[in-house]
Every structure is written in structure tokens, then in C-alpha cells.
């Protein structure tokens, strides 16, 4: 996919019809993405592309009556178990209907030599934060299991497909989501650091490495580090990376807590945190932001991408969907209540800018002052 960026304008890719892409530009200082022009195709359901809803955040989050009702339903154990199972089934069947071979991809990893990677990636002295040891995403061991690790890439692909449902393929949907995020990062770098040739990149919460590989492809001369709390996810990341042709700069994988990485201060030009914060309590979000500020060099860039509370699509999710979603995402409410930009400011960041980079996700970029 060809993508051009300009010093003062960002090209954002979106779908305007079946398989058709439209180039859209926004001035570099724009804080929100306006809605796209009307859809040109009758089968297009993405008329809400990049559109903000009326509210600050969805009414199914926080202290609203609807949110409390969903919370009460989820906290009733027998119902929770059913919902958890239902959520998992919906996830897999929706993915497979969208041509994501979920079960095949999982089997391929589980039947591979991935297990051999564990010894070289695992940090035996790691102390997991409490929140990380709870059941999560319908896995009893949360992210600390081979099944969660084997299914992670298919789950990631589903996120892209859900964001751009009218893309001609899952691959295209994911390319759009990832390219738009990387374009927002690149634009921020160009505007505030005057330097897109970043030398050192840290990807906090890298999971099985999809975001890390995206960063390494986008910035081929940079030294890229992927950091995660799950040694299972990191094993898959390392295994997959070994299977592809070698890079000039091999990706380094680190098993650590993003709140306390153990990495030297002032050692990165770009810290990326992609799709991590909706899985974290607010105290972890604050801790990770502080740590990102510490490890970034003056002038360095922070890029957070994740679900957008202001997204019209997210605000209008059906009750069934958001109840299922909340049943496997224990910190979703906290995430939607968190003033992310405010927390970034408190951590010391400046030039904080937010844009909807796809119909469901925002990218928030910021700089460490010189
Ligand atoms: C949805 S995944 C991220 C996906 C990935 N960045 C991408 O864009 O494909 C969220 C990740 O955050 C990790 N995580 C959660 N809390 C963390 C923490 N405190 N430190 C490091 N990683 C954390 C989880 O283990 C999980 O792999």
C-alpha cells in the first residue's frame, strides 16, 4: 500500500467502498478526525468512518445506570462463565467468517517448536503486577498461557477487521489500521522532533510482535525493542521473527513490566504503546506513562494507540456486544474513564495530540520537552 506523508499534512487511508481507498489529509494540528465524505457504495456500512459520537465516552462505561447493570450481570458468577464462553465463541466464529483462519493459525503455533524460545526470553526474576494475574480475555491464566499466545495474532487481525469492516480483505483492513497509526507517529516526529530517522524504538506491550514488526518495517534503520509481561507472547514473537528473512537490525525482545523496564533513562527516541491501555487499570497506565517519559530522550516521541472513547462506532455498540466485551476485559471501564491526555500531561509530556486513526481507535502522540 503506497502511503505518502508530507511535512505539514498527514495522509490517512480509509475505505470508501468495497476495496476502494480514499486519501484524506488533515492539517498537522487537527485534534480530531472529521467524518469522511458520504459513502459511495450502497453496501458500505462504514458511513461512520472516523466519526465522533455525541458523548465524551460510551454510556455503557463508567457510573451510568446501563454500565452498572452490565457490571451487576458480569459479577454474577454463573452468568459470567456463560458470557465468557459466549464471548470466546463469538470472537472465533466472527474471525473465521471474516476469513481469519483462527483455529489453523492456533494449531500451527501450538504444534511448532515455539516452546524452545521460552528459556531465552523469560526473565525468571520478574514480579507480575496483581492485575496481570487475573483471568483475562476468557483465558483462566490471562496472558500467561500458550493458548493465549497462539491465538494472539488471529485476535489482533480480528481487531483490524472489526475496525474497517468494508475493507476488501482482512489483510487490507489491518494494513489501513497499522499504516494510519504509523503515519500519525511519523507526522508527530516530523513536526516536533524534526527527525524521522529515529535510532531507538521501544514497543511496550508488544504481545506477539505485530506492532513491533510494523515499527521495524517503518523505521528499518532503527534498533527496535519489543517489551512485554508475557513470556509466552514473547516466545511467539521471537519464533515468528526467526522464521522471516533477517533484518539489518534484529528486534530485541525483553520480558519486563512496562512500569519498571530496567532500561536506561534517556535511551529511546520513540516509545510506542499499542492496544495496551484498555487492558490495564489506571494505576498501570500512569506507571507506564511515567516509565515511557523516563526512558525517552529529550525531544523523544510517545505514541499511544487504542480504543477511542469518542468513536461513534464504539459509542453505538449494541448492548449484547458491549456486555460480551466487558465480560472479558476487566479494565475496560477504567480505561474509558481515564483522561489519557491529562495523564500524559501529568507525566511531563507536551505537544499532546489526538486523532481518530480509524473508526474505532485513536492515536495520541506527545513529546518529551527538550
Ligand atoms: C493487546 S496486546 C498489545 C498488542 C500489540 N501491541 C499490537 O499492537 O499488536 C496488550 C499487551 O500488553 C501487555 N501488557 C499488559 N500490561 C503490561 C505491562 N505492565 N508491561 C508490559 N506489557 C504489558 C500484555 O501482556 C499484552 O501482550
Q: Which residues contact 111 (CB under 8 A, 6 or more apart)?
A: none
> From the CB of 291, is ligand 1 less than 6 Å away?
no
DSSP 170: H
Element (H, E) at 274: strand 268-274
Q: d(Cα 149, Cα 228) in Å, to the nearest integer?
A: 12
Confidence (pLDDT) at 13:
55
- CA-CA distances (angstroms) from residue 119 to 116, 232, 236? 7, 10, 12
d(CA 198, CA 195): 7
Q: Nine-digit cell at 188?
A: 508527530
**Nearest residue to 356 (alpha-carbon basis) of 176, 190, 198, 218:** 176
Which of 161, 228, 287, 330 should be mutated for ligand 1, with most atoms under 8 A from CB? 228
Residue identified by cell 483465558 is 139
Q: Which CATH class is domain 60-367?
A: alpha beta
DSSP, collapsed to helix, strand or coil, labels residue 71 as helix
> How far lies 100's CA from each of 83, 105, 151, 154, 223, in Å?
23, 9, 11, 7, 31
CA of 69 relative to ligand 1 center, distance in Å: 29
Which pLDDT score, from 0 to 100, does residue 47 have?
35
Question: C-alpha distances in angstroms, 352 versus 185, 347, 364?
Answer: 12, 12, 7
C-alpha cell at 189: 516526529
* Cβ atoms 191, 28 nearer than 8 A: yes
Give, for ligand 1, the residue of 276, 279, 306 to mutate: max count of ligand atoms closer than 8 Å to Cβ: 276
List the chain residues with pLDDT less than 50. Answer: 1-11, 14-49
CB 354 within 8 A of CB 363: yes
Cα of 320 vs centre of ligand 1, distance in Å, is: 26
Which letter does DSSP use for residue 68 in this model? H
Would the CB of 304 count as within 6 Å of ligand 1?
A: no
Q: Identify the pLDDT of residue 91.
A: 81
Q: What is the pLDDT, as a whole number, of residue 250?
A: 96
Query: Residue 22's beta-bridge partner residues?
Result: 14
The Cα–Cα gap between 202 and 32 comes to 26
- In this predicted structure, what is the pLDDT of residue 196? 54
116, with CB counted inside 10 A (0-12, 13-18, 19+), is exposed
User: What one-character DSSP code corresponds to residue 81?
Assistant: H
CA 183 to centroid of ligand 1, rounded, Å = 21
Residue 301 Cβ < 6 Å to ligand 1: no
| Any ligand 1 atom below 6 A from CB of 275 | yes
Ligand 1 pocket, 280 CB below 6 A? Answer: yes
Give the closest residue (by CA) to ligand 1 atom 11.
205
Rounded Cα distance between 185 and 52, Å, is 21
- Is the beta carbon of 229 within 6 A of some atom in ligand 1? yes
> In terms of C-beta density within 10 A (0-12 exposed, 13-18 middle, 19 or more buried), how is residue 30 classed?
middle
Pocket test for ligand 1, best of 126, 143, 205, 226 (most atoms within 8 A of CB): 205
Distance CA 357, CA 353 (A): 12
119 alpha-carbon distance from chain centroid? 27
**3-state DSSP call for residue 26?**
strand
In this prediction, residue 21 carries a pLDDT of 37
CA-based radius of gyration for the chain: 20
Sign of the alpha-carbon dihedral angle for 145, 146, 149, 151: negative
DSSP at 250: P
Helices (H), 111-169: 118-121, 146-163
Query: Running DSSP on this structure, what letter comes out for residue 302?
Result: E
C-alpha to C-alpha distance for 114 and 189, rounded to whole angstroms:
36
Collect all residues with Cβ–Cβ distance below 8 Å to 257 and sequence separation of at least 6: 126, 127, 128, 129, 229
Amino acid at each position: 500500500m503506497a502511503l505518502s506523508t508530507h511535512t505539514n499534512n498527514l495522509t490517512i487511508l480509509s475505505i470508501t467502498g468495497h476495496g476502494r481507498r480514499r486519501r484524506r489529509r488533515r492539517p498537522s494540528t487537527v485534534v480530531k478526525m472529521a467524518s469522511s465524505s458520504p459513502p459511495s457504495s450502497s453496501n458500505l456500512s462504514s458511513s461512520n468512518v472516523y466519526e465522533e459520537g455525541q458523548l465524551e465516552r460510551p454510556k455503557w462505561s463508567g457510573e451510568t445506570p446501563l454500565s452498572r447493570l452490565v457490571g451487576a450481570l458480569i459479577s454474577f458468577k454463573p452468568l459470567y462463565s456463560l458470557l465468557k464462553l459466549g464471548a470466546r465463541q463469538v470472537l472465533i466464529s466472527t474471525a473465521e467468517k471474516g476469513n481469519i483462519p483462527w483455529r489453523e493459525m492456533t494449531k500451527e503455533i501450538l504444534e511448532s517448536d515455539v516452546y524452545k524460545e521460552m528459556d531465552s526470553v523469560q526473565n525468571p526474576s520478574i514480579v507480575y503486577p496483581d492485575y496481570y494475574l487475573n483471568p483475562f480475555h476468557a483465558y483462566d491464566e490471562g496472558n500467561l498461557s500458550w493458548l493465549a499466545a497462539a491465538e494472539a495474532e488471529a485476535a489482533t487481525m480480528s481487531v483490524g477487521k472489526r475496525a474497517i469492516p468494508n475493507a476488501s480483505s482482512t489483510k487490507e483492513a489491518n494494513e489501513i489500521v497499522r499504516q494510519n497509526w504509523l503515519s500519525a507517529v511519523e507526522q508527530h516526529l516530523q513536526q516536533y522532533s524534526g527527525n524521522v530517522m529515529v535510532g531507538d524504538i521501544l514497543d511496550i506491550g508488544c504481545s506477539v510482535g505485530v506492532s513491533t514488526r510494523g515499527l521495524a518495517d517503518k523505521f528499518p534503520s532503527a534498533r527496535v525493542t519489543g517489551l512485554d509481561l508475557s513470556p509466552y507472547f514473547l516466545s511467539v514473537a521471537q519464533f515468528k521473527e526467526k522464521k522471516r528473512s533477517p533484518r539489518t537490525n534484529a528486534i530485541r525482545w525483553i520480558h519486563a513490566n512496562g512500569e519498571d523496564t530496567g532500561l536506561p533513562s534517556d535511551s529511546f527516541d520513540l516509545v510506542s504503546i499499542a492496544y495496551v491501555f484498555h487492558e490495564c487499570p489506571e494505576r498501570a497506565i500512569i506507571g507506564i506513562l511515567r516509565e515511557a517519559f523516563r526512558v525517552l530522550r529529550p525531544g523523544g516521541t510517545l505514541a499511544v494507540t487504542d480504543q477511542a472513547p469518542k468513536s461513534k462506532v464504539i459509542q453505538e455498540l449494541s448492548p449484547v456486544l458491549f456486555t460480551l466485551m466487558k465480560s472479558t476485559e476487566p479494565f475496560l471501564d477504567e480505561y474509558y474513564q481515564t483522561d489519557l491526555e491529562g495523564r500524559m500531561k501529568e507525566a511531563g509530556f507536551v505537544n499532546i495530540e489526538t486523532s481518530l486513526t480509524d473508526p474505532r481507535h485513536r492515536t495520541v502522540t506527545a513529546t518529551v520537552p527538550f
